[in-house]
Structures are given as structure tokens and as C-alpha cells.
């Protein structure tokens, strides 16, 4: 075995995959250019760090379970003038997480609530901050199921471990009082400790219809809103725009 193959083995053991892949080309280049050993080591380690950071970000985005991978850069702010672009990009810096603040997106269907919540979540996941996306109904179903097995506490702890939790679609379906109380326990545990992003199509005054208990509803809203950024989106559904573009395309195709 040559020293070169031993070196490749060492890189493999150290899991320096990028250096291992770059090495042959780099060694050829070294012969042509006058590259010093320090420069070579610096270049290779710099590229390895970049590679490992990108790989970790991809893994973190995958485990965050987003319904789609879209960022704020993919959001057409000109279509939704009620959304303050500067505020959103400020939230994307994740400063709000330092103070365990929440974000609540309120608006009718298709205005971009999930897109913006995911966009901020993606920024967190890319920075390897533990992030998790779940719809409100999935969350409640999991909590109620766990409660029926006497392990609600464990499940609530599980959802509390995420530094950023995104709870999407509050208010699409009403839930039981048991579900509402379990949700209160989760919000209470995360309160002032961890940030949560929520989306809803219902104004707060309608939330007691979702939770079925005005006392629990008030306690939930109180904690969520205390340190929060409430983003009200007033505008047309982007899905209508997509539908119009699609219709226009069909008309052009059919030559009408
Ligand atoms: N302003 C926008 N620019 C670009 N894409 C947008 C914009 N608004 C929405 N979209 C896209 O339109 C689709 C619907 O948006 P989204 O899912 O965020 O809506 P929503 O407010 O969560 O609606 P719902 O209440 O029905 O869940 C998504 O594919 C999203 O990426
Ligand atoms: Mg949505």
C-alpha cells in the first residue's frame, strides 16, 4: 500500500469526505502552481468546512419536516403589500429567538402564512437550530393519543425540546376540550423559554370557537401574545394568481 492510499484511508476514517474527493485534482494543481503547504491545507479545510456545514443544513432542513422548502427570497412581497418586507427579513435574522418571542401569522387562505413561517423556519434549520413543523391538527391528535396512553407529559416534553416549533393552521377544525387543555400545557411550557411560530385563519376573538372553552382560550392567547410579533396579512390568495396564470397559459395554448 502506498502512502497515498493510506492518506485516503485516513481521510475516510476522519470523515473528511470533501478533502478526500478534492485531493487528486488539488495535488495535480499543486504541481503546476506554486502552492505552499499552508495554503493547500487552508484551502482544503475551508472547503471541507463549507461542505460539512451545507450537508448539516440539508439534514436539519429534512428533519424539520417542512411541507415545502421555500425561503423569504421566494416570496413576492409586491403581491402582498400588507406584509412588511423589512420586518420579515428582520425576523429571518432570528433575533426574536434570543428573547423567546413568538410569531403569529393571521390571514385568510392562500395569503402566504405557511410560506413565510417555513421561510423563517428554513433560516433556523440552516443554522442548525432544532426546528420542527407540524400542523395544529396533527399536533393535537398526537397529544390526545399520548394522553390516552398516560404519556402526555412525555409528548409535551418532546415538543418542548425544539428551539423553534412551527404550528400551522390553527382554526381550520375545532378541537375537543381535552385537546385544548393539552395545547395550553404545551404553550405554557414553551412560554418565555422557546419561540413558537403559529399560523391561523381566525382572528383571536374567534379562537374560543376552536378551543371550545373561553378560559383556556384566554390563557393560551395571553401566553402566546405576551412576547410576540403578530403579522396580519390582508390580501388576495396567491393561489388565485397561480390559477389565473394557468388559465392564461391554457388560453394561449388553445389559441383563443
Ligand atoms: N406572495 C407570494 N409570493 C410567492 N408565492 C406565494 C406568495 N403567497 C403565497 N405563495 C405561494 O402560494 C401557495 C399558498 O401559500 P401558503 O400555503 O403560504 O398560504 P396560506 O396562507 O398558508 O394558506 P392556507 O390558509 O390555505 O394554508 C404556496 O405555494 C406559497 O409558496
Ligand atoms: Mg397554510
Instruction: Encode pLDDT of 56-75 as tens digits.
Output: 999 999 999 999 999 999 99
Provide CATH code, domain 72-241: 3.40.50.300
For residue 169, the CA-to-ligand 2 centroid distance in Å is 6
Q: From 178, 169, 117, 118, select the one nearest 142 (Cα to Cα).
A: 178
Regarding pTM above 0.85, the answer is: yes
Average pLDDT over residues 180-208: 96
For residue 140, the CA-to-ligand 1 centroid distance in Å is 23
- The ligand whose atoms approach the alpha carbon of 236 most closely is 1
With vertex at residue 182, the alpha carbon angle to CA 163 and CA 228, rounded to the nearest 5 degrees, is 45
Instruction: Encode pLDDT of 11-30 as tens digits.
Output: 999 999 999 999 988 888 88
The domain limits of the chain are: 3-63, 72-241
- What is the position in ligand 1's atom list of the atom closest to the CA of 199? 22
Average of per-residue pLDDT values in the chain: 93
- Decide which of 67 and 40 is more confident: 67
Residue 250 confidence (pLDDT)? 75
Which residue's CA lies nearest to atom 26 of ligand 1? 109
- What is the position in ligand 1's atom list of the atom closest to the CA of 241? 12
Give the whole-number percent of the chain exceeding pLDDT 90.
Answer: 83
Ligand 1 neighbours, Cβ below 6 Å, are: 70, 75-76, 79-80, 107, 109-115, 169, 199, 201, 238-239
Residue 174 confidence (pLDDT)? 86
Residue 1 confidence (pLDDT)? 61
**Beta strand pairing call for 131-135 and 164-170:** parallel
Instruction: Encode pLDDT of 157-180 as tens digits.
Output: 999 999 999 999 999 988 999 999
Residues in Cβ contact with 194 at an 8 Å cutoff, skipping those fewer than 6 apart: 100, 160, 162, 163, 164, 165
- The ligand whose atoms approach the alpha carbon of 112 most closely is 1
Instruction: Encode pLDDT of 64-117 as tens digits.
Output: 999 999 999 999 999 999 999 999 999 999 999 999 999 999 999 999 999 999
Alpha helix stretches (DSSP H) within 33-112: 37-63, 85-92, 95-98
Residue 255 confidence (pLDDT)? 59
For residue 4, the CA-to-ligand 2 centroid distance in Å is 54
Residue 201 confidence (pLDDT)? 96
Give first-to-last CA distance, the chain, whole Å. 72
Average pLDDT over residues 172-192: 95
**Cα 121 to Cα 107: distance, rounded to the nearest angstrom:** 19
Residue 35 confidence (pLDDT)? 84
Helix pair 136-148, 152-160: axis angle to 10 deg: 140
User: Would you say residue 243 has pLDDT above 80?
Assistant: no
User: Would you say residue 245 has pLDDT above 80?
Assistant: no
Amino acid at each position: 500500500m502506498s502512502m497515498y492510499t493510506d492518506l485516503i484511508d485516513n481521510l475516510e476514517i476522519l470523515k473528511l469526505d470533501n478533502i478526500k474527493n478534492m485531493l487528486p485534482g488539488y495535488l495535480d494543481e499543486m504541481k503546476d502552481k506554486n502552492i505552499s503547504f499552508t495554503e493547500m491545507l487552508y484551502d482544503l479545510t475551508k472547503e471541507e468546512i463549507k461542505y460539512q456545514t451545507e450537508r448539516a443544513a440539508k439534514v436539519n432542513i429534512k428533519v424539520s419536516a417542512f411541507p415545502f422548502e421555500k425561503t423569504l427570497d421566494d416570496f413576492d412581497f409586491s403581491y402582498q403589500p400588507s406584509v412588511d418586507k423589512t420586518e420579515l427579513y428582520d425576523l429571518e435574522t432570528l433575533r426574536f429567538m434570543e428573547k423567546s418571542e413568538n410569531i403569529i401569522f393571521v390571514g385568510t387562505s392562500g395569503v402566504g402564512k405557511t410560506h413565510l413561517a417555513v421561510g423563517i423556519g428554513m433560516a433556523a434549520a440552516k443554522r442548525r437550530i432544532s426546528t420542527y413543523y407540524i400542523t395544529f391538527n396533527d399536533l393535537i391528535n398526537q397529544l390526545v393519543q399520548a394522553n390516552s396512553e398516560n404519556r402526555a407529559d412525555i409528548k409535551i416534553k418532546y415538543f418542548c425540546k425544539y428551539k423553534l416549533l412551527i404550528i400551522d393552521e390553527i382554526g381550520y377544525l375545532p378541537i375537543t376540550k381535552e385537546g385544548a387543555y393539552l395545547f395550553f400545557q404545551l404553550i405554557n411550557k414553551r412560554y418565555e423559554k422557546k419561540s413558537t411560530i403559529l399560523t391561523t385563519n381566525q382572528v383571536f376573538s374567534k379562537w374560543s370557537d376552536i378551543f371550545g372553552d373561553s378560559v383556556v382560550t384566554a390563557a393560551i392567547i395571553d401566553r402566546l401574545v405576551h412576547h410576540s410579533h403578530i403579522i396580519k396579512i390582508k390580501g388576495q390568495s396567491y393561489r388565485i394568481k397561480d390559477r389565473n396564470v394557468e388559465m392564461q397559459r391554457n388560453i394561449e395554448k388553445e389559441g383563443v
